[in-house]
Structures are given as structure tokens and as C-alpha cells.
Amino acid sequence: MKSAILLFLLSTAAVAQPFGVGIKGGVPMTDFVDAVNQGTPNLSYVVRTNRYVVGPMAELRLPFGFGVEVNALYRHYSFSGTPGSVTTGAWEFPLLAKYKFKAPFVAAGVAWDKLSGLSQDFASAIKTSTLHKDVTHGFVIGGGVEIKALVIRVSPEIRYTRWSDEHFLDPAGLVKSNLSQAEFLIGISF
């Protein structure tokens, strides 16, 4: 009985904490890069988007259902074809204002995206680069549900980001970054 009361008091104290930390991960619902295959062997790309997004999260829980969340989300992708190949990772840093309606929540804010570990390999005859910008920013909206279980909060959500500019833009028009990004994410925080 004493352990049940202690567990109840700890969980109540944890729910009242104004600051939470945890991990957020999920899967992209859109590809990060669009490629056009024109049917010509020397003018085509194949895109490989790894199906994960993961990183740490922190949240400041304010009164009256308001909050501020920041993430550092990592993803990896590549594209290759006859002209050459590109492999890279990207760190996305969203800063979101949140409002909770008991369990459901909505979020909106801004995000910055920085390429990391970029590797480009092109045929010497092509002498081209698809890198347009290694840093871009965008607008983020999303929504989900927060489920509280003792000291843990589980938050599945769908998030949409509209980027201001492409990371990649092939001069031939065969490959470019997707400006619209949708993701299904699950956050686990304490």
C-alpha cells in the first residue's frame, strides 16, 4: 500500500513539472528529394529515403495549456544515377508553440534544416553539383494527442513543414528537394 501511495505521489509530481525532455522519432510520409526519370539511361536518378526521423526533444509546459517545444531531428537519404550520386544526412531544428486541449494538441512554428555529412560523386565529364543550399528554413504546423501514463508522456502526431528553398537543385532539372514535408512522429518524454 505504501509503495502504491509513493508511486501515485511521484506520478502527480511529474505531471506538474514545467519542463520535459525525451526522444521523438517517426517516419516520413513524403520523400525528401523528388527525382524525374526521363527514360534516358544517362539522365535518371533513383532516390532512397531512409524511413526514419529521430532525435532529442525538450518542452517547456506553460499554464493554461500552452507550451514551447524544440527538437533536433536527424534523417538520412541519398540519390544516385548515371550522372552521379549524393549521400547526406540532415538535422532539422523545429521550434514550436503548442496549445493543448486536454489530450489533443496543435502546434505551429519555424524550423531550420542543415545538411550533414554531404558526399557527392559525379562523373568527371558531368562536372555538376546538385547542392543548392546547405541550410534552409520553413514553417511547421502539426497536431496530435498526448497520452499520460504515470511519469511518461507519449505524443503521436502528424507534422507538415513547408521549406522556403531547396537543398538540392540539379541544373538539368532531374532532381530537386521536396519543399513540402509530412511526417508521422511519436514523442516519449518525462
Instruction: List the chain domain ranges.
Output: 18-189
On whether the pTM is more than 0.85, the answer is no
* Segment (H or E) for 177: strand 175-177
| CA 119/CA 123 separation, integer angstroms | 14
In one letter, which amino acid is 28? P
Q: Is the pLDDT of residue 13 over 60?
A: no
Q: What burial letters (b/e) apply to 42-69, b meaning 16+ CB within 10 Å?
A: ebbbebebeeebebebebebeeeeebeb
- CATH assignment of 18-189, among 3.40.50.620, 2.40.160.20, 3.40.630.30, 1.20.120.420: 2.40.160.20
Question: In this predicted model, what pLDDT tens digit does every residue of 116-162 receive, in sequence order?
Answer: 887 777 654 344 456 778 899 999 999 999 999 989 999 999 999 99
Rounded to the nearest 5 degrees, what angle is found at the Cα of 99, between the Cα atoms of 65 and 158?
A: 135
pLDDT score, position 38? 54
Residue 51 clears pLDDT 60, i.e. is over it:
yes
